[in-house]
Amino acid sequence: MMTSIDIFYGNFELEDILSDLISSAPVQRLKNVHQGGVIFLVSPHVSHSRYEHAIGVMLLVRKLGGSLEEQIAALLHDVSHTAFSHVIDYVQQKKEEDYQEQIFEQVIANSTIPAILTRHGFSTSLLEDPKYTLLEMPLPALCADRIDYTMRDLYHFGVINIVEVHDFLNELAVQNGKIGVKSEKAASWIANKYLQLNKEYFRKPEHIYVNTKFSELIALGLEKGIIILSDLWKDDPAVLSMIKSNPDLNSELQKIKSLDGFESFSVYESAKTFKERILKPMVIDNT
């Protein structure tokens, strides 16, 4: 039995199916896929991975009383992210940032995951259950996915500390299968922090610049045939290596890293690519 250790949620003894899925190639691959696209090029301290997030979402669903099936769905919800996470959405100009959702079934079907699920008496159909309201809810509601990436991005970006993370997590409660908070104070805190995350992190001009310019670099690589679309199903180091091996692409990469051209870059125009987001959490009355 595997023990999962997370600085946000603590230590958990995991069932064999979760251990086997965590050890599988599709989940392990996420260790080398950056959560924030290529933000790490200009903010090296922000280098957390999709793997940390996937484990975190699974543990939060578990902590809130979610079923084993929902924990499995939580663990696997991001396995179809391509290299550099949402960069592919900017390449393809997908404003809904949903490319990974469009290819999810294909990625699962072509992986070892169905065999692992079958071995433990489960089916891939559990990944399609629309009743997983702890895992996913549309904005402006809270859900485990949204809570974890918000906490993790804010924490690694240095906006909040671990005490604030734990204080907020202790405010979470579940009512009718949906996540809310126990006080108006907590609702206001997370709503404000979510706005701050969008303003200072997602829409930080330098971050918009590197993600936008890197998406143009990927598009150029695809156009020239140096990169093919299936290469993006590898991980970040593998694709970076391909870029660095080509003199023209590597030259562009170095310009991006040094913010060459940033001063003349239209942040306002590029910001339109990034989703506007607000949170309005449900406050649960415990009286």
Question: Could you tell me the residue ranges of all domains in the chain?
Answer: 2-205+275-283
Q: Indicate the residue type of 113.
A: I
Average pLDDT estimate for 256-283: 81
**Residues ≥6 apart with Cβ < 8 Å to 121:** none
Model pLDDT, residue 273: 60
Torsion sign over Cα 27, 31, 35, 37: negative
pLDDT tens-place string over residues 166-206: 999 999 999 999 999 999 999 999 999 999 999 999 889 99
| Number of other CB atoms surrounding residue 245 within 10 Å | 10
First to last CA, the chain: 40
Please give the Cα distance from 141 to 216 (Å, whole number).
33
Report the relative pairing of strands 10-14 and 172-175 from DSSP bridges.
unpaired
Question: Region 71-88: what's the mean pLDDT?
Answer: 92
* pLDDT at residue 131, as a whole number: 86
For the segment(s) 2-205+275-283, the CATH number from 1.10.3210.10, 3.40.920.10, 1.25.40.10, 3.50.30.10 is 1.10.3210.10
SS3 sequence, the chain?
CEEEEECCCEEEEECHHHHHHHHCHHHHHHHHCECCCCHHHCCCCCCCEHHHHHHHHHHHHHHCCCCHHHHHHHHHCCCCCCCCCCHHHHHCCCCCCCHHHHCHHHHHHCCCHHHHHHHCCCCHHHHHCCCCCCCCCCCCCCCHHHHHHHHHHHHHCCCCCHHHHHHHHCCEEEECCEEEECCHHHHHHHHHHHHHHHHHHHCCHHHHHHHHHHHHHHHHHHHHCCCCHHHHHCCHHHHHHHHHCCHHHHHHHHHHHCCCCHHHCCHHHHHCCCCCCCCCCEECCCC
Per-residue pLDDT tens over the stretch 94-139: 565 677 777 889 999 999 999 999 999 999 999 987 789 999 999 9
Q: What is the mean pLDDT of the chain?
A: 91
Among 46-55, 230-239, 272-281, where is mean pLDDT lowest? Answer: 272-281
